Structures are given as C-alpha cells and as structure tokens.
Amino acid sequence: MTTPNSWTIKAARAALRKGEISAVDLTMSCLTAMDAGDGLNAFVHKTPQIALEQARAADARLKAGDAPAMCGIPLGIKDVFCTKGVPSQAASNILRGFKPEYESTVTTKLFEAGAVMLGKLNMDEFAMGSSNESSCYGPAVSPWKIDARQLTAGGSSGGSAAAVAADLCLAATGTDTGGSIRQPAAFTGIVGIKPTYGRVSRWGVIAYASSLDQAGPMTKSVRDAAIFLQAMSGHDAKDSTSADLPVPDFEAALTGDIRGKRIGIPRECRLDGIPAEIDALWQKGMEMLRDAGAEIVDISLPHTKYALPAYYVIAPAEASSNLARYDGVRYGHRAKLSQGDGITEMYEKTRAEGFGPEVQRRIMIGTYVLSAGFYDAYYNRARKVRALIKRDFEQAFAAGIDCILTPTTPSSAFGLGEMGSTDPVEMYLNDVFTITVNLAGLPGVAVPVGLDHKGLPLGLQLIGRPWEEGDLLNHAYVLERAAGFVSKPEKWW
C-alpha cells in the first residue's frame, strides 16, 4: 500500500476527482512526510497553515465541479520564488527576514489553479551552485544513500529534487540557469524540464542571470511534468521577456508515437574521460528511441566546447548587475555599523556578511569582465560565442532534427564536500551537458533511465526545438516508458 504523498499528480488528480481522498487528507499525508523528512533539509520554511487553508478551498472547488488539473495537488516551492507574506530568501543571508508583499506570477498561476503550497524549498544561494552547498541553510541531502556518506541532491534546485524523490510532496517548482532543474533531477531519479526561455514568466523570481533563468517543474513522471508545465506557462505582461504565445495542451501531446522522428546525437558530447557507464546509458537511450521508430542521426554542434567558458562569463556578469540591488538599504540584512562608518562602509559590511563565498566569487568575476578594458575581451566575446552556439542548434533543427539526445550529467551524485572544495572549476564542469540549452534558450528535459554500478540514478537529456515542449515531452515519454525506471531510494532519513 502506498501512502498518498508518494502518488503522482496524475494519480492524485484521479483520486481527488473521484472523491476517493480529500485535498486536506492528501495535504496531511505530505505534511507528515515533510516532518519525518527533516533530515534531508529540503524544506527551509514550512507553511502548514497556508497549505491546509488552500486544501480546504480546493476541496470546495472539487465538490463544485470546478477542478483544474492541479486542484488540490500539494507542492514544494523553491525559495527563489517570491511568495506573499512567506520568507523568500533565495537561501541567502542577505535576504534573511524578507517577506514579499507580492506573489510571483508562477505561484499566482498555481494557486489560481488550486494547488497547495507546503512550504519553501532549499537551494544554492541565489541559484549559484551545482550541489546545494552554498545555501545559508546548509545543503539539502539526497534521499539516495549508498554508504555512510551523505550525497548531494544537486543544485541549484537541490531541495526541490530531494523533496520530490523522497515523496515529501507530489511535485516542486525549480529554476534552471545552467542546468539547475535537469542536473538535480538526474541525480535523484526524477523528471525535470527547463522550458523554452520566455515560456514561463520570470516575474517575482529572484534573479541570478536574467537572460538565462527559466522556471520549470520537477516531478515523478513525464506526464506530471506536462500537467504541471501547463499550469505554469503563459504570457505575462509584467515580464518583458515573456512570450505572447498560446500554451499548447502538453499532456495531450503524449501520444507515445515518435515514428519517423530524427534524433540528433552530437559528437561533441563524446567527451574524453566520460565514464563508461554514462556512455553505455547514452547508447541504450539511442537504442530505445530507435526501437520506438525514430531515426538516430550523428550531428555536430561545433561550438559546444566553448560553452562552459562563455557561460561562466555571461552568468556572473549578469549576476554582478542583478545583485547590486542588495545593499542593506531597502530590505533584507543590514550590517551593524561602527561609530564613524558611512554609507560606503554599510554597503561593504552588509554585502560581505550577507553574501556567501560562491556568490562573492561570481560577483567579482562578473564585475571584472564588465569593467573598462575587459568588456570586449571577455563579455562581448562570450556573447558572440553564445550566438554561435544558438546558430549550431538552429542549423541542426533546420536540417530536419526533431530532438537531440545527450547525457544529463557526467556522473551520478557525488558526496557532499567532495567536489569543488579546492578548485571551483571542478564543480562548474558538472554543467557541461546542460548549459548549451540555456545559452540557446531551448527546452530541455532530464529523464531517469537507469542506475550506475553504485545503485545511484543516471539520467539522459532530450533537447527540443524552441516552443515545442509538447513534442519534447512526447519523446521523453517514450524514453521513460522504454526505460521503465521505477527505482526509489530506501528510506533512511
């Protein structure tokens, strides 16, 4: 017998509509699991009163026959989304105590659809990280365990990944700037999709790198991702980068038929030193898609090798600009000043105390590459590389490629404290397969496909045409069904 907190959105939707369970009882199941899962450090602000109030309202809508797909579904919300009256800190000390007076567009849409907010989820500080270790709350911990070590749940949406994988909630919101939905999804054996840039509003999402950030769902299945993405998507006049396009029925696109589709395999992703089991999984993914009737085609994305350095110029540059607003004057943390300190000292002390080491590192990198004398040498050059990377994808799709298949990560989850402690670049290399998708503004989805020799999840990534999330999810649906991944972590927390 499974407990309701372990259900998929699809299963819960059916049970709620049939009256087999109430939204209040479903929410209580998740609240109980959340309390039992405190050892994972996934939830950093619990909101049980709000959750039960929203669940009661959802029950009323269900009784009245007014039940959108997400009505009564208990969710975790990443701490980067502003939620009215609820701490929204982006896991940073500089925003300690900040409670917005407004609601992000994404959470507004979800609440209008009847969803239930269980609380706010852990993350890397300002979404800068690949392991959740830069969080001011301490890292979220993966529910997967192979020995005495605690494993990373990935980053920056590590709390979201841990909560979904451990069945603390039915699904969670994430954000993806360079892989921050897809990498933690792969590490924890769940599904995560980064939509096309502009598909989901960024209004009310605390910014890291504005031309790269995109919100998306983290779920237990591809169908759940389609249902969830439908509720999150749509044009928003408050976000100048939001696309004024109709939102397709993503769930209806899951036909399971990809016969005649052409799947691109980029030769540039065949990296030296890639673990044999990652390569074997990739080959297995190709076979599964071929068996489903797709054609596997070798392609070239020649500028992929420049993606990492370009990303780690552009993203810190945008972060340097975005994070200049945190100065201790208007909201958040303000340092205690000594006698004689002026406004400059207040800025310096506040930012030194409020920002963690990784955020400070990226601000300094960004400020440097934007400075006079280096702007053209670094930032402008990185922007040109970005344009070339985007063109590579455009040419592949113009040549008839429908979808691109790659690994999601170069390894399974690593132990907390084991990577990047002496060389931050070691951690940055985790993004090698994911950042091109952000630089090109494309949709990408991570699907769990198997386990490595240690028994830890491994995922594959599918990259789609812009605005074709429905087709992308259909490919992911085929891959998911063929892989038959049903493994769950053994409960230890």
Q: Which amino acid is at 57?
A: A
Helix, strand, or coil (residue 406): strand
Rounded CA separation 134/90 (Å): 11
DSSP state of 143: S
Rounded CA separation 411/186 (Å): 10
Helix, strand, coil distribution of the chain in percent, nearest 5: 40, 15, 45
| Two structure tokens written together for 78 | 């990443």
Rounded CA separation 250/473 (Å): 8
Quick check: is 22 catalytic? Answer: no
Residue whose C-alpha is closest to residue 35's, from 59, 8, 5 = 5
In this structure, are residues 10 and 227 in contact, taking their beta carbons and an 8 Å threshold?
yes
Quick check: is 180 catalytic? Answer: yes
Candidates 10, 22, 29, 78; catalytic one: 78
Candidates 29, 156, 233, 320; catalytic one: 156
Q: Return the CA Rg of the chain.
A: 21
Helix, strand, or coil (residue 40): helix
Burial classification of residue 235, based on how many CB atoms lie within 10 Å of its CB (0-12 exposed, 13-18 middle, 19 or more buried): middle
Quick check: is 120 catalytic? Answer: no
Candidates 142, 180, 201, 411; catalytic one: 180
Helix (H) / strand (E) containing 403: strand 403-407
Active-site residues: which are they? 78, 156, 180
